[in-house]
Structure 1
Amino acid sequence: MTYNLEMLPREKVFRDPIHNYIHVQHRVILDLINTKEFQRLRRVKQLGTASFTFQGAEHSRFTHCMGVYEITRQICDNFQRNYPTKTPGDGLWDDNERIVALCAALLHDVGHGPYSHTFEHIFNTDHEAWTREIITSPETEINQVLRKVSADFPEKVAGVIAHTYENPQVVQMISSQIDADRMDYLLRDAYFTGTKYGMFDLTRILRVMRPYKDGIAFDNDGMHAVEDYVLSRFQMYQQVYFHPVSRGMEVVLTKLLQRAKDLYEHNHMNDFEMPSLLIPFFENHVSINDYLLLDDGVLNTYFTLWQDYPDEILKDLAHRFLNRKPFKSAEYNQVTEKMLPELADIVESAGFDKKYYTAINTSYDLPYDTYSPNSNKSRTQIEIMNDDGSLIELSTISNLVNALTGKISGDERFYFPKSMLIEHPSDIFSDAYVEFQSHIHNDSII
């Protein structure tokens, strides 16, 4: 389908620390950027609680979405320049698909809530479902902008997010084992966390990408650049995304929101200043407007107020979160897992409600996955294209990637209050403390 698109009279650029310039040529892209739903992403951190560990990680979902758009734009330029379609069905790039890809790239994270995945866990929300809702709902400015392209254009963009769009090349640009989304957040997160694990040669990877009938492949002479990307991604998961202290703050946040929800459900917040913007989530009856009113700043404001609430657990957890008092953790395994209920009881005997002051957290359940083409939830596997046009899956020809393929990575941790590790506890906690220490070795504690 050919769309009647208005081009800007002059290209607009946005300065960016990762891509130098982000180039906007289409009126629809600029209009989407200026919608209130997209501007809200400035107020949602990309890495949630990771900024408590990596102090530079203050970047937002807004900057990431802009970066994903820019990488997608560069992919489209490369495909149109080097692999333009010549006959229908030849598997090459149809540039009429460009605007669908660009809009989907820009909007792919517009449905993220405050503190993203922690919020999702407590209130059973799904950011991808909300993204599709924001794109297709007539109530949103985003939908109104997209409908100017064509009446069915919002559904086409939402189809890319849902992986149901008819062109697999467009879907794989945004969501696959090596896509614009992952490539931007690895480089961006590495930059803002001050780490080097996520660095890889983006320019080279974009150069060796090529379309084919069933999606996107990579030239065989670019295999080593792709290997470097896979290794960088693995390292970022282990060293940044799975960091135990960030997860310790995430546990505090989870328990804080859970306590507020429990108090509301038992009518114990009546004497408090009611957190009105959270009530729809407490009652599990959320409209699109309710959802879009929330961001990190709104939650932080409630947390600040909760420091003065009469409920001691809510007050304490709010203080711990706002003032960076993460729970400590000890790694456990199949042998020591049987000790966890007893450890939780010991924590409670020391004066902490184990429901809110102990937790089991596993990195395996976090929303990042290492490269595993044979897993049940695998994204499209990485295909290397030989000179004769035949395809071969990356891990079958790369010893490096094969060593990582299908391997479960991460750890399992038991979280508890740091005061359980005080070297000289008060008499009140003395017996419990000694017993607690007998179960947990200091060399396994972070």
Structure 2
Amino acid sequence: MQEKVFRDPVHNFIRIDDPMILALIDTREFQRLRRIKQLGVANTVFHTAEHSRFTHSLGVYEIARQFAAHLINFKTQTPGDGGWQPEERRVLLAAALLHDLGHGPYSHTFEHIFKTDHEKYTQQIILSSETEVNQVLRTVSDDFPSQVASVIAKTYPNPQVVSLISSQIDADRMDYLLRDAYYTGATYGMFDLFRIIHLMRPYVGGIAFEDKGMTTVEDYVVSRYQMYGQVYFHPVSRGMEVLLTHLLERAMSLYERSKTDSFVDGHFVSEALVPLFEHQISITEYLALDDATIIANISNWRNAPDRILADLATRFLDRKPLKSIEIADDVRDLLPKLVELIQAAGFDERYYTAENDSFDTAYDSYNPNSKKTKTPIEVIQQDGTLVELSSESTLVQALRGRTYGNARFFFPNEMLSKHADWDLMAPMYEEFQHYVRNGKLIRP
């Protein structure tokens, strides 16, 4: 086929020369990703962060395409030599394109509330004979859908393909760091993608990077560290996520009550959300959900007869996030008192307070005893031996295992208000504020 080109602000051009890839892009399941924001509620903080899972997925495909174009220079010569196998290109590109297919609306907040797993849904969508994606993949071979799904599941027999899609330095992370930095205006998320690709070398156990370019790989690790600290863990964005979480929890609670309480009308939930609330949802019903489905319901809930649901919906739509303070371990015992004051001020603590811990590590070396083992970044030396990145880089050594993020307590903004002495709530507000100083919980 004649090469198809998509213009892209991050990669300039996204090139497609395989009719199967183009057909996958045109499927209804992939087009749905246009209607799911990549960063969820982060656009309420970074107003230009309106990019979608669709644009990110195309970007991951393009980086994987560049991987394959580079690795062809190191193709296998004899069985078991650890060289790149050119026939893996198609499964690599398909997995890169489809890796986020199973994301629900508002992505990770959605997963937390409804106990879904986007990777498992991605595999189900790929494997289901009911989907257009499955039908396109089967044009390659009957077992091609299972091959692509196994890359997502990290069980594909070739570790090189898996690590290119899912590791500490992969096509997914590379695109979302560059793309999220571009759309949020956070320049500290940038790194030299071209240089990193040209440092890649295949080996039997996966992908390594030439030691002469270790500084470039260090830049990537630092970029990830900075993006998490400044963008992904932003306290206002987390406040909006907590608000959305409580809003959906309240909706689910009311829906459950409607089954036994005649005074609660369960029809406040749209037909599209009912299977989700019933926890019996088919692939077809799941694929009908997107950000617009959730927003349409929340817009209706603004006028709900339930006071809490209506208030939470209004706060979410009008961007009135819950405020927060940082919690240190030595003052955590003060939280029950804060909750007591919030309750006394008339707020239901189940929906207006939350403890939210957001932590991640800048870089993890391999630890076989860890519950979430991460593959290390391997550096290949001049003599061909492999060493783990942090053993060669003093910068990465300093970041290895280091956590970033913090624990925060969320509460209604009203608790920080200044009220007249005659206001019945004034004493609660004033006492609450004795525990807050410079955004942190303190002991008065």
Would you say same fold, with TM above 0.5?
yes
The correspondence of residues 109-188 of structure 1 with structure 2, limited to 5 A, is 109-188=100-179
The correspondence of residues 347-358 of structure 1 with structure 2, limited to 5 A, is 347-358=342-353
Identify the residue that residue 437 of structure 2 maps to in structure 1.
Answer: 441
The correspondence of residues 282-321 of structure 1 with structure 2, limited to 5 A, is 282-321=277-316
Q: 1:142 to 1:269 in 2, by over 3 A?
A: farther
Contact 2:201 2:208 in 1 (8 A): yes
Contact 2:156 2:162 in 1 (8 A): yes
Query: 2:56 aligned to 32, 39, 64, which one?
Result: 64
Query: 2:28 aligned to 36, 40, 48, which one?
Result: 36
Q: Structure 1 residues 263-272 or 111-120, which shifts more?
A: 263-272
Matched, 1:46 2:38: yes
Query: 1:429 aligned to 405, 425, 438, which one?
Result: 425
Matched, 1:281 2:273: no
How far is the alpha carbon of 1:424 from its aligned partner? Answer: 2.5
How far is the alpha carbon of 1:372 from its aligned partner? Answer: 1.2
Query: 1:254 aligned to 218, 234, 245, which one?
Result: 245
Identify the residue that residue 3 of structure 1 maps to in structure 2.
Answer: none
Matched, 1:102 2:97: no
How far is the alpha carbon of 1:148 from its aligned partner? Answer: 0.8
Cα-Cα RMSD: 1.2
Letter in 2 for 1:131: T
SS in 1 for 2:4: strand
How far is the alpha carbon of 1:442 from its aligned partner? Answer: 3.5
Matched, 1:386 2:381: yes
Question: Hey, what's the Cα distance between the residues in 2 that align with 1:233 and 1:172?
Answer: 17
Contact 1:374 1:406 in 2 (8 A): no
SS in 2 for 1:106: helix
Contact 1:272 1:309 in 2 (8 A): no
Question: Hey, what's the Cα distance between the residues in 2 that align with 1:186 and 1:378?
Answer: 21
Contact 2:167 2:374 in 1 (8 A): yes
SS in 2 for 1:277: coil
Question: Hey, what's the Cα distance between the residues in 2 that align with 1:133 and 1:54?
Answer: 33
Identify the residue that residue 90 of structure 1 maps to in structure 2.
Answer: 81
How far is the alpha carbon of 1:378 from its aligned partner? Answer: 2.9
Partner deviation per Cα, 1:222-242 (whole Å, 9 max, x = no partner):
100000000000000000000
**Which 5+ residue runs of structure 2 have no aligned equivalent?**
none
**Which 5+ residue runs of structure 1 have no aligned equivalent?**
1-7
Letter in 1 for 2:131: T
Contact 2:222 2:362 in 1 (8 A): no
Identity in percent = 58
SS in 2 for 1:412: strand
Identify the residue that residue 25 of structure 1 maps to in structure 2.
Answer: 17
How far is the alpha carbon of 1:88 from its aligned partner? Answer: 1.7
Q: 1:374 to 1:213 in 2, by over 3 A?
A: closer
Contact 1:197 1:236 in 2 (8 A): yes
How far is the alpha carbon of 1:57 from its aligned partner? Answer: 0.4
Question: Hey, what's the Cα distance between the residues in 2 that align with 1:55 and 1:275?
Answer: 28
SS in 1 for 2:116: coil
Matched, 1:404 2:399: yes
Partner deviation per Cα, 1:223-272 (whole Å, 9 max, x = no partner):
00000000000000000000000000001100000000000000065264
Question: Hey, what's the Cα distance between the residues in 2 that align with 1:285 and 1:320?
Answer: 30
Letter in 2 for 1:93: W
Contact 1:210 1:219 in 2 (8 A): yes
Letter in 1 for 2:190: M
Matched, 1:363 2:363: no
Question: Hey, what's the Cα distance between the residues in 2 that align with 1:221 and 1:237?
Answer: 27
SS in 2 for 1:293: coil
Letter in 1 for 2:339: A
Q: Structure 1 residues 168-177 or 268-277, which shifts more?
A: 268-277
Letter in 1 for 2:76: T
Question: Hey, what's the Cα distance between the residues in 2 that align with 1:360 and 1:111?
Answer: 28
Contact 2:302 2:314 in 1 (8 A): yes
SS in 2 for 1:379: coil
Question: Hey, what's the Cα distance between the residues in 2 that align with 1:14 and 1:271?
Answer: 45
Q: 1:420 to 1:127 in 2, by over 3 A?
A: same
Q: Structure 1 residues 175-184 or 83-92, which shifts more?
A: 83-92
Contact 2:361 2:400 in 1 (8 A): no
Letter in 2 for 1:335: D
Q: 1:172 to 1:226 in 2, by over 3 A?
A: same
Identify the residue that residue 223 of structure 2 maps to in structure 1.
Answer: 232
Structure 1 segments of 4 or more deviating over 4 A?
A: none
How far is the alpha carbon of 1:276 from its aligned partner? Answer: 1.6
Letter in 2 for 1:32: L
Question: Hey, what's the Cα distance between the residues in 1 that align with 2:383 and 2:168?
Answer: 24
Contact 2:166 2:172 in 1 (8 A): yes
Partner deviation per Cα, 1:146-202 (whole Å, 9 max, x = no partner):
011100000000000000000000000000010000000000000000111210000
Q: 1:271 to 1:182 in 2, by over 3 A?
A: closer
SS in 1 for 2:409: strand
Corresponding pairs, count? 433
Contact 1:49 1:115 in 2 (8 A): yes
Partner deviation per Cα, 1:323-374 (whole Å, 9 max, x = no partner):
100000000111111111221121111011110000011112xxx6531124
Question: Hey, what's the Cα distance between the residues in 2 that align with 1:120 and 1:443?
Answer: 29
SS in 1 for 2:434: helix
Query: 2:8 aligned to 16, 30, 49, which one?
Result: 16
